[in-house]
Structure 1
Amino acid sequence: MLDDLCDWEKATALLARQSPRWEPGTASGYHRFTHGFLIGEVIRRICQQSIGAYFADQIATRLDADFHIGLAAEHDHRVSDVVPAPGPAPSANPHVAIPVGAYVTAQDTWSTQWRRAEIPTADGYGNARSVAAVQSVLAAGGQTPQGRLLSEATCRAVFDQQSHGTDLVLGIPLRLGMGYALNASNAPVTTANPHTCYWGGRGGSLVVNDLDAHVTVAYVINQMTNLGLTDPRGQKHLHTAYAALAH
C-alpha cells in the first residue's frame, strides 16, 4: 500500500478506473488517502504543476505559511516523527457497508519515501501556526492581508450539504459539506455558530473554521491516538478557545 500511495501516476490511474460503490449523493464514505489525489490530479492537468508545487507557489508562499505537501530534504532535520498510538488500530465496523481497510503505520511515515511523496491528505508537514494560517483564509471569508485567495461564493459553497448520516467508513454520524464536515447536533465537533466547518486526523489533530466568529482553531500532535475527531485533547483546546471568545 505504501508504494502505491507514493506513486502518483499509479494511484490516480487506479482511482480513474474505479466505479462508485453507491449512488453519488446517497451516502458518504471517508476517502482517507484518495481525496487529495482526486483534487491534485485536476490541479496537475489544469495548471501543469504537482499539488505540492501549486500549494507552495499559490498559497503557502503568499501567506508565509511554513507548511509543505511533500517535504524537501533540507527540512528533514526539523521533523518531529509521529509516535504510534497505543493499542491496535480500529477494526472494521460491522454495522457499516465498507471496512475500515488498511492503514499506513506511524513507522511508514518515518521513511524518506513517505516524506518525498506528495500525498495531499496525509503527508503535509507543518505546525499548528501554519495550519491555522492556511485555514484562516476560509474563516476570513477568503480575504487575507496579501489579497483575496477565495471568493465569497467559494466560501459559501463549503456549507452546501452533501450528505448527513452515518459515514460508511468511519461509522460515526457526520454532516458533510464541500471538503469539510459541518456543524450538527450529533456531530463529533459542535459549536454555537452555524457556519462552522472542521476536520481532523486519525492521530488526534483538529482544525475548526468558524466563519461567524471569524476564528480558526488548529491543533496538531505527534503523539497519536486512535480517537480521531473525538480525541479529548483537541476538544479541550477548542472549548478553551470559545471560552476565551465569550469574555
Structure 2
Amino acid sequence: MTLDGHCAAEFAGVQAAFEAEFAAGNEVGASLCVMVGDDVVVDLWGGVADEATRRPWVRDTVATTYSVTKTMTALAILVLADRGRLDVDQPVARYWPEFGRAGKDEVTIAQVLDHTSGVSGWQQPMTVDDLYRQPDAAAALADQVPWWTPGDGSGYHALTFGTILAEVIARVTGTTLGAFLESEIAGPLGADYRVGMRGGLDRIAPMVPPPPAHVDLASLPADVEPRRTLGNPVFSAAITADPTFLAAELGAVNGQGNARSVARLQSIVTGRGRAGGRAFLSAETVDRIVETRTDGVDRVLGVPVRFGLGWALSSPAMPGVPDGDVCWWTGLGGAVVSCDLGRGITVAYVMNAMAPGLIGAPRPNRYLAAVYESL
C-alpha cells in the first residue's frame, strides 16, 4: 500500500519496515514519527482508521494511546515540580491529605511515578463508570492499605497511576489533568494530543482487538497483584469508540493522539527539557527521569522492568530500545514512545490493530530497530 506523509532519505529503512507490516497484514491503520531534535524526519501514516466504515487513516486521525498516556501525566507532574508547585520527593499526602490514611502517609509522588507505592489497584470492586468519576475513584484509594511495602520494588500501576497523579494535580492547581496538559504543554507546542476528548470524535480510530491472551486473569488467585490490578475493572477494545470513555480524563490510559503529537510532546524529554524553542523542564529534572529507581521483575507485569522517574529505561522487556540515556513506555496493544537523550532522537508509534500482551509487542520493536539501523 502507499503511505502518506514524508520520510527523510536516510531513514528510508524505517518507511520500508512500516510498509512491510502493512503488506503482511499486521497493520490496519497506524502512524509513525521520528524526530531528530526539533526536526520531524519521519512522519508517516496510512491504512484504515475504522474497520466498520473503511474510513481511511489520514493526517489528523487520532487513536487511544493507552498507557503512553502515563508519560503525558508524568510530564505534567514534572512541569509542576519545576515550577515549584510540588516536590516529587514529598508524600502524596502533603498535597492530598486524605491519601495519607491506612499507612500511606510516607508514600511519595516519586513512588507513584516509579510504580513502587504499593497502590497498584483498587481493593474494592470497580467499574469503568467508577473510574470516570475522578474524585470518587481517588477517594476509594485514600482508605486503602498498600499491597506491599512502599518502595520495595515495582508493581505496575495500570490505572491508579493516572487517578493518584491527577488528584495531586487537581489539589495543586485547582484544574484537571487534561486542562493543565492542554493549556500548559500541548497547546504551546501545537501538539494534537488530549486527555479528555470532547470534540472531533469523527477523527477517532477505534481499536481493533488483539487475539485472545494466553493468560486468563480470572484463572489467577484473587489476591495476586496481576489479577487485582489488571482485572478491576476490565474493559474491552470496543470502549475506545465510546464518547463517554473518550471524554473522560483517565491519566493512565485514555489519552488520544497520533505519532506526531506523541513525539512532539515527548521531545521535551529528549531535548533535556526544551522543545519548540521553549523551556518546559530543567535539565536536572530530566536527568532524574533516566536514573534507575527500581530494577527487577515487576509484580504485575511479571517481567523484568527498569523504571526511572515516570518512564521505563532500557531493558530486555523492550529489545528495540537501546542502552544509554533512553526512556520509553508502551501502551496496551503496542503504541510506544522512546526518548533517546544521548542521540537526540524521539520515536513514536500509534496504531489501532492491537498486538496481544501488555509490553514488548513485535511491531514497535521492529520499527525501533529500523530507526537505529538507519543511523
Deviations 1:44-84 (A, max 9, x none): 11111100000000011111000010101x21111111111
Structure 1 Cα separation of the partners of residues 262 and 216 of structure 2: 29
- Residues 1:99 and 2:226 are matched in the alignment: yes
The residue that corresponds to 2:304 in the other structure is 173
Q: Give the CA RMSD over aligned residues.
A: 1.9
Q: Give 1:97 deviation, angstroms.
A: 4.4
| Deviates most, 235-244 or 84-93 | 84-93
**1:135-174 map, 5 Å:** 135-174=266-305
Amino acid at match of 1:56: E
The residue that corresponds to 1:110 in the other structure is 241
Structure 2 Cα separation of the partners of residues 94 and 77 of structure 1: 39
Deviations 1:13-59 (A, max 9, x none): 11222221111221111111110111111111111110000000001
For the pair shown, the structure with the greater C-alpha radius of gyration is: 2
Between Structure 1 and Structure 2, the one with more strand by share is 2
Structure 2 Cα separation of the partners of residues 60 and 200 of structure 1: 19
The residue that corresponds to 2:170 in the other structure is 44
Q: Give 1:91 deviation, angstroms.
A: 2.8
Amino acid at match of 2:189: L
- Residues 1:205 and 2:335 are matched in the alignment: yes
Q: Is the 8 A contact 1:205 1:228 kept in 2?
A: no
Q: Is the 8 A contact 1:193 1:212 kept in 2?
A: no
Structure number with the bigger relative contact order (C-alpha 8 A, sep ≥ 6) is: 2
Q: Is the 8 A contact 1:67 1:126 kept in 2?
A: yes
Q: Provide the TM-score with structure 1 as the length reference.
A: 0.92
Structure 2 Cα separation of the partners of residues 205 and 192 of structure 1: 17
**1:219-234 map, 5 Å:** 219-234=349-364
Which segments of 5 or more consecutive residues in structure 1 lack a partner in the other structure? none
Amino acid at match of 1:98: E
Structure 2 Cα separation of the partners of residues 224 and 191 of structure 1: 20
Q: Is the 8 A contact 1:115 1:123 kept in 2?
A: yes
- Number of corresponding residues: 243
Which segments of 5 or more consecutive residues in structure 2 lack a partner in the other structure? 1-126
The residue that corresponds to 2:254 in the other structure is 123
- Classify 1:153/1:54 alpha carbon distance in 2 versus 1 (closer, same or farther; 3 Å): same
Structure 2 Cα separation of the partners of residues 69 and 146 of structure 1: 24
Aligned mate of 2:182, from 56, 81, 87: 56
Structure 2 Cα separation of the partners of residues 170 and 11 of structure 1: 23
Q: Provide the TM-score with structure 2 as the length reference.
A: 0.62
Structure 1 Cα separation of the partners of residues 290 and 224 of structure 2: 26
Structure 1 Cα separation of the partners of residues 275 and 311 of structure 2: 20
